[in-house]
Amino acid sequence: MMRTLKIGYSSLVYAFLYVPIFVLIVYSFNASKFGTTWQGFTLKWYQNLLENTSLMTAAGNSVLVATLSATCATIIGSLAAVAFYRYTFKGKKVIMSLVYILMMAPDIVMGISLLILFVTIHMEPGFITLLLSHITFNIPFVAVTVMSRMKGFDKNLFDAAGDLGATEFQTVRHVLFPMMLPAVVAGWLLAFTLSMDDVIISFFVTGPDFEILPLRIYSMVRLGVKPEVNALCTIMFTLSLVIVMISQILNREKK
Amino acid sequence: MSSANDIVRLESISKSFGGHGVVHNLDLCIKDGEFVTLLGPSGCGKTTLLRIIAGLETQDYGRVFIGGKDVSIIPPNKREVNTVFQSYALFPHMTVYDNVAFGLKMSKVPKDEIKERVKEALDTVMLGNFADRMPQNLSGGQQQRVAIARAIVKRPKVLLLDEPLSALDFKLRKQMQTELKHIQRKLGITFVFVTHDQEEALSMSDRVVVMNEGVIQQDGSPKEVYENPKNMFVAKFVGEINVLQAVIEKTINGKLRANVEGRQCRLTKKHTYVEGDSVKLLLRPEDIRLEHIKDADSDYPLQGIIEETTYKGATLDSIVRLDSGTVIMASEFFDEDDPEFEYKTGEKVAVKWVDGWEVLLPDD
């Protein structure tokens, strides 16, 4: 009895989370233009998608921003994590909590505050402002991902490296860095996906000349959900799924 | 105390963590080629002292010399000592070979020489065929050997070992104790070994330094430390010991007549105590001899009642309650010629010990 209840309950939760996505994927192959009834299988929407050059440009912009921002955030975030893990310095706790606060901060607050910043320093909203914003909100996610892995390291390893003649730089280079590498890659992938589907912050900081995919989709659905959007979302979902899986595998503790 | 062939010299070392003193004004000299053990309960400062020699901790006060050179402010990577860590601290992302080669690579030794020396080190610890394995695929004992190989491959002046055997099971530990001794003799390197296991300390070392609360309690050969403990801490920490209350009643040419647990005993060994001194008389369980009391009013000085006997294979351990109420333990080897060598619970026995094997400490 208890068992059926448990299974039933968790099935409901998962159904609530996944059925809409599943429906969306199914409808991306639906020949019906208005998407409420099933009128046969088609790949037409995927084809339309590829032929829509402005949408494709937006997708390209998104990938560019995501790649660049993830890379910069990974470098800065990982270095921050190393500093937090390896060294003690004044104000370390404060700086660490600031990282967490940044991660928790509502997107709307970040978006508006970044917008105010860019307006104040007279920066034209566009590619650069968007990239800077994405780097900013990605840094804490990378730093936290890397730090959480480093918590499990035996600190004696670094003593041992020093004891065996390694300088501080050699210790980081030959011992700490290879050990944290999986978390660094996982952090990059996380940052990439976060950047790929950010709407709120991007909405405030990008200009009319530089359109990215999530914003484009957002403006498309204001006029009703087109089947192309279904197709696009299916592709993005699959991509995110693959990335999440890769990052999970990388961050798994080796037995 | 200090001399030219001291490989390590510590001068008035003090160290505290967060206001809590761990090592207090400690001096220690270690001769070249010695096997020295720092022995003490956990928290006595022995590991901190080892880490100060390695340079992994910096002393608050005092100076550290290695090979005659003042290394007090030299970082660990510039000191000619290597450490075997309690947790082994093998690099998990490197093969056994790369682990052992790490130190040599860091000091830019030519590749061919690295190869040769790593092989030699792995052969020394009998892991010649394991070079390509990852550490996590090795047993605890094998990981231990890799840690030793990694530490000896640089031919340090001093090898520091921080409770290296504590994670191994009993049998493996015994085996590694002998092997470590062999390695030390073969390489002729000074070993500074930290342990809380007194048996390990006694069986392996040339010299035992007993520590408690950041202070050296006694510094001597295993035999000295065991047979002539300088104070109650050493006596109780190193091996089992029985403590009897005694008062000196008379001294004749340095020999004493004492009241031990309410009975008169003669002590034949020379002691420096004088009449009226209150002392503790210490006896190792294996130095005690029990005798059956045949006739009721026999005049044995110390008598007691058997409370319990335990058969230990080689020895028979008996717990005896003396007439004064003090409980002592005796550990006697079986006598081949005496088939009746056993005691019944509740039986009255006489308690004797080998003349002169007692230790007297002031009562405080």
Q: Cα–chain-centroid distance for residue B207?
A: 9
Alpha helices in A166-226 (DSSP H): 168-171, 177-196, 200-205, 213-221
Give the model confidence (pLDDT) of B97-153 as tens digits. Answer: 999 999 999 989 999 999 999 999 999 888 989 999 999 999 988 999 999 999 999
* Contact list, B78 vs chain A (CB under 8 Å): 165
* Contact list, B75 vs chain A (CB under 8 Å): 162
List strands edge to edge, sheet with B69-70: B20-31, B6-17, B61-66, B69-70
Task: Find the closest chain A residue to B76 by CA distance.
Answer: A163
Please answer whether residues A144 and A191 qualify as being in contact, where contact means their C-beta atoms are separated by less than 8 angstroms: no
Coil/strand/helix, residue B239 = coil
The residue-averaged pLDDT of B5-16 equals: 91
CA angle B355, B359, B364 (to 5 degrees): 145
Residues 6+ away with beta carbon under 8 Å from B171: none
Q: Cα–chain-centroid distance for residue A20?
A: 21
| Any domain includes A58 | no
Structural domain of residue A175, as residue ranges?
A: 64-216
| Any domain includes A15 | no
Instruction: State residue B295's pLDDT score.
Output: 67
* Contact list, B107 vs chain A (CB under 8 Å): 165
Instruction: State residue A129's pLDDT score.
Output: 93
Instruction: State residue B205's pLDDT score.
Output: 92
Angle between helices A127-150 and A107-120 (to 10 degrees): 130
Which helix H or strand E contains B259, and what residues bound it? strand B255-260
| Any domain includes A54 | no
Facing A165 at nearest CB: one of B87, B91, B103:
B103
The residue-averaged pLDDT of B269-285 equals: 84
Which helix H or strand E contains B317, and what residues bound it? strand B315-322
B115 burial via Cβ count (<10 Å: 0-12, 13-18, 19+): middle
| Any domain includes A255 | no
CA distance B185 to chain A (A): 22
CA distance A252 to chain B (A): 14
Phi, psi of B70 (to 5 degrees): -75, 110
Q: What is the CATH number of the domain that holds A190?
A: 1.10.3720.10
**With an 8 Å Cβ cutoff, are A159 and B106 in contact?**
no
Phi, psi of B29 (to 5 degrees): -120, 135
Facing B76 at nearest CB: one of A163, A174, A179:
A163
Give the model confidence (pLDDT) of A9-27 as tens digits. Answer: 999 999 999 999 998 888 8
A88 burial via Cβ count (<10 Å: 0-12, 13-18, 19+): exposed
Buried/exposed B117-152: b ≥16 CB within 10 Å, e otherwise: bbeebbebbebeebbeebbeebeebbbbbbbbbbbb
Residue among B277, B288, B274, B364 at smallest CA distance from B326: B288
Which residue is it, tokens 């505050």? A113
The residue-averaged pLDDT of B13-20 equals: 90
The residue-averaged pLDDT of B28-45 equals: 92
**With an 8 Å Cβ cutoff, are B136 and A157 in contact?**
no
Q: What is the DSSP letter of B269?
A: S
* Contact list, A184 vs chain B (CB under 8 Å): none
Please answer whether residues B58 and B83 qualify as being in contact, where contact means their C-beta atoms are separated by less than 8 angstroms: no
Q: Which of A88, A158, A163 to mutate to test the interface with B (most CBs of B within 10 A)?
A: A163
Residue ranges of chain A whose CB lies within 8 Å of a chain B CB: 154, 156-157, 159-167, 170, 174-175, 178-179, 254-255
- What span, in angstroms and rounded, lies between the C-alpha atoms of B185 and A205? 72
Residue among B182, B170, B158 at smallest CA distance from B81: B158
Which residue is it, tokens 């508006």? A112
CA distance A163 to chain B (A): 5
* Contact list, A170 vs chain B (CB under 8 Å): 106
| Any domain includes A115 | yes
Please answer whether residues A196 and A241 qualify as being in contact, where contact means their C-beta atoms are separated by less than 8 angstroms: no
- What span, in angstroms and rounded, lies between the C-alpha atoms of A171 and B76? 12
Facing B77 at nearest CB: one of A156, A167, A255:
A167
Q: Which of A88, A157, A164, A174 to mutate to test the interface with B (most CBs of B within 10 A)?
A: A164
For B12-73, the DSSP string reads EEEEEETTEEEEEEEEEEEETT-EEEEE--TTSSHHHHHHHHHTSS--SEEEEEETTEE-TT
Look up the ipTM and state it: 0.81
Facing A166 at nearest CB: one of B77, B87, B136:
B77
CB pairs under 8 A between A and B: 68
Residue by residue, pLDDT tens for chain A (255 residues) are 788 999 999 999 999 999 999 988 888 888 887 767 788 888 888 888 888 888 888 989 999 999 999 999 999 999 999 999 988 889 889 998 988 888 888 999 999 999 999 999 998 888 999 999 999 999 999 999 999 989 889 889 999 999 999 999 999 999 999 999 989 998 999 999 899 889 899 999 988 888 898 888 888 888 777 788 888 889 888 988 888 888 778 767 553
Long-range contacts of A225-230 (CB under 8 A, 24+ apart): A225/A35, A227/A27, A227/A28, A227/A30, A227/A32, A227/A33, A227/A35, A227/A44, A227/A45, A227/A48, A228/A45, A228/A48, A228/A49, A228/A52, A228/A55, A230/A24, A230/A25, A230/A27, A230/A28, A230/A30, A230/A35, A230/A45
Q: What are B225's two structure tokens?
A: 């430390």
Please answer whether residues B43 and A149 qualify as being in contact, where contact means their C-beta atoms are separated by less than 8 angstroms: no
**With an 8 Å Cβ cutoff, are B56 and A178 in contact?**
no
**With an 8 Å Cβ cutoff, are A165 and B154 in contact?**
yes
Please answer whether residues B278 and B361 qualify as being in contact, where contact means their C-beta atoms are separated by less than 8 angstroms: no
**With an 8 Å Cβ cutoff, are B92 and A164 in contact?**
no
Facing A156 at nearest CB: one of B87, B103, B136:
B87
Buried/exposed A25-56: b ≥16 CB within 10 Å, e otherwise: eebbbbeeeebeeeeeeeeebbeebeebeebe
% chain B with pLDDT above 90: 52
Residue ranges of chain B whose CB lies within 8 Å of a chain A CB: 51, 54-56, 75-78, 81-83, 85-87, 89, 91-93, 102-103, 106-107, 136, 150-151, 154
Taking all residues of chain B, what is their mean pLDDT, rounded to a whole number? 88
| Any domain includes A1 | no
**With an 8 Å Cβ cutoff, are B76 and A162 in contact?**
yes
Q: Which of B102, B105, B134 to mutate to test the interface with A (most CBs of A within 10 A)?
A: B102
CB atoms within 10 A of CB B315: 15
CA distance B262 to chain A (A): 55
Measured in residues, chain B has a length of 364
- What span, in angstroms and rounded, lies between the C-alpha atoms of B214 and B20? 11
CA distance B136 to chain A (A): 8
Instruction: State residue A255's pLDDT score.
Output: 39
**With an 8 Å Cβ cutoff, are A160 and B83 in contact?**
yes
**With an 8 Å Cβ cutoff, are A154 and B81 in contact?**
no
Coil/strand/helix, residue B310 = strand
| Any domain includes A69 | yes
Give the model confidence (pLDDT) of B188-203 as tens digits. Answer: 999 999 999 888 999 9
* Contact list, B103 vs chain A (CB under 8 Å): 164-165
| Domains within chain B, CATH numbers bracketed | 6-237 (3.40.50.300), 242-362 (2.40.50.140)
Residues 6+ away with beta carbon under 8 Å from B324: B245, B261, B262, B263
Q: How many domains does chain A have?
A: 1
Facing A160 at nearest CB: one of B55, B85, B93:
B85
Q: What are A108's two structure tokens?
A: 């709307």
Give the model confidence (pLDDT) of B300-340 as tens digits. Answer: 788 888 999 888 888 889 999 988 888 999 998 877 677 66
**With an 8 Å Cβ cutoff, are A179 and B56 in contact?**
no
Instruction: State residue B233's pLDDT score.
Output: 92
Task: Find the closest chain B residue to A178 by CA distance.
Answer: B93
B96 pLDDT higher than 60:
yes
- Give strand pairing partners of B30: B8
Facing A163 at nearest CB: one of B54, B87, B91:
B54
Q: What are A246's two structure tokens?
A: 């890769």
Task: Find the closest chain B residue to A160 by CA distance.
Answer: B89
CA distance A86 to chain B (A): 14
Q: What are B36's two structure tokens?
A: 């020295």
Instruction: State residue A253's pLDDT score.
Output: 56
| Any domain includes A4 | no
Residues 6+ away with beta carbon under 8 Å from B207: B34, B35, B36, B37, B219, B220, B221, B222
CA distance B57 to chain A (A): 10
